[in-house]
A = this chain, B = another copy of it.
Amino acid sequence: MRERGAAAARVTSRDVAHAAGVSQATVSLVMGGKWRGRVSERTAEAVRSAARDLGYRPNLAARNLRLGRTRTALLVVPALTNEFFARVYTGAARAAAEHGVGVVLYPSPEGTGPARDPFASARATLDGVIASSMAAEALADIREGGLPLVMLDSDPERPEAAATVNLDIADGIRQVTDHLLALGHRHLAHIAADIDSWTFRVRARALADALRGAAGATLRTEPAGLDVDAGRQAAERALTGPGPRPTALICDSDVLAAGACKAARRLGLRVPDDVSVTGFDDLPLATALEPELTTVRLPAEAVGEAGMRALIAVLDGGPVATRALPVELVVRASTADAGRAVSGPPGV
């Protein structure tokens, strides 16, 4: 009547041992599942029964101390309000659960104080770290911790981690440009996230590469922040700037693409009739917009899963394959033949 209650006194393996008439060591063996050939089935069942009756929960702090590991990983991402990273977390958490590993998120992994330095005690409570290269400011702290590290979307040429999980962003850009060039677009603008991160640098580089072979193609780059309004402003600049007006806007994310669509509409341009727009990510937002967005689908959850699996492999001392996950262009309604726009700009 009491032991099931909320404020029942902490019940330890010793209490269970006493109730079952065995030693604490036996309880530990049984609860740890490694009692085969060490404890009789009768005794094991008695222990399990006593543990159930008393509501025994092994004390993880004690176990962690004893074992010197926690089976807990830290996931470092720039912001969960960016749905891409929320999905990365989802994938990582799923893979972790399959292996009996826990996930904590930066910031506040273990909150050792009001100050920063969230990794002050990481060595003791974490077994490893998975970090997005976009969370740049945290990387120094991470390295300081000296923990096994898996990087997400980081430069594979300059591996600073035990393993790296990438997306084949360059291929995504190629697919986008192939698509737009095939539709007859020659004047392109790149609405480029102004974050100093590998994933965005790759977009810029791959775009330049892809257009090198296209005769008569021009590319204008407009830097932008990360939110809708930043995308709108950058797109307005791209569409009203000097030189030939771009007929297609390649945006570094769906969110920026949403802003680009708004910019077009404000300028009296129709999407996709007057200007095509493409995104990156394929978030739910892409189909919430009107018209639905042509975009590059990034397998966010797969990134999280692969990252977690790689970290677990590192922790187990196994081999780690650094991978680049494939991406896929999803053609929807925000891109169309450039010919329609050739008739000239409406009265802007």
Contacts and interface: CB of A to CB of B under 8 A. Distances in A.
A64 B227 CA distance: 40
Interface residues of A, number: 68
A210 interface: no
A149 to B, nearest CB: 9
A102 B110 contact: yes
Contacts of A109: 102
A90 B81 contact: yes
A183 interface: no
A80 B86 contact: yes
Nearest to A93: B108
A83 B80 CA distance: 8
B287 A5 contact: no
A285 interface: yes
Interface string A1-42: 000011110100000000000000000000000000000000
A59 to B, nearest CB: 4
A100 B80 contact: no
Given A59-B123, A97-B111, A102-B104, 9 more contacts: A58-B124, A60-B110, A64-B64, A72-B110, A83-B83, A99-B114, A104-B104, A227-B284, A255-B284
24 contacts: A5-B146, A6-B146, A57-B120, A59-B65, A60-B110, A60-B125, A61-B124, A72-B111, A81-B87, A83-B83, A89-B105, A93-B105, A96-B108, A99-B111, A100-B111, A100-B112, A100-B114, A101-B111, A228-B287, A255-B284, A255-B288, A259-B288, A288-B289, A290-B290
